């Protein structure tokens, strides 16, 4: 009997909490506050973008292509099954 009362109390507490949260979330005061907060954040971002300095592009010829693949293949130890697959006498 006590277990049922506790379960009912917990269920009622859960629904009451859920009701209060949804009531606050959909209230006009919260919606107005959220819109005001978003607008001030947007203006802060726009003002911050105007003061950013432009940097010179210094990424020319940064990538160096190294073609050492043939040299690597010559130095690499040949494995037994590779000799079988290639069909060449090496």
> pLDDT at position 13, please?
97
Give me 57's structure tokens. 């592009």
> pLDDT at position 89, please?
57
Ranges of residues in the chain with a pLDDT under 50 are none
> pLDDT at position 48, please?
67
Give me 23's structure tokens. 């009531």
pTM of the shown model: 0.43
Contacts of 78 (CB under 8 A, 6+ apart): 90
CA 78 to chain centre: 43
CA 68 – CA 71 distance, rounded (Å): 5
Give me 20's structure tokens. 């209060």
Check if the beta carbon of residue 90 is closer than 8 Å to that of residue 83. yes
């Amino acid at each position: 009997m006590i277990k049922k009362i506790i379960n009912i109390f917990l269920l009622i507490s859960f629904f009451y909490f859920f009701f209060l949260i949804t009531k606050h979330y959909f209230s006009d005061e919260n919606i107005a506050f959220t819109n005001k907060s978003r607008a001030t954040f947007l203006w802060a971002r726009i003002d911050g973008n105007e003061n950013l300095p432009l940097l010179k592009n210094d990424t020319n010829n940064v990538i160096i292509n190294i073609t050492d693949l043939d040299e690597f293949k010559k130095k690499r130890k040949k494995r037994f099954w590779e000799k079988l697959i290639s069909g060449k006498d090496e």
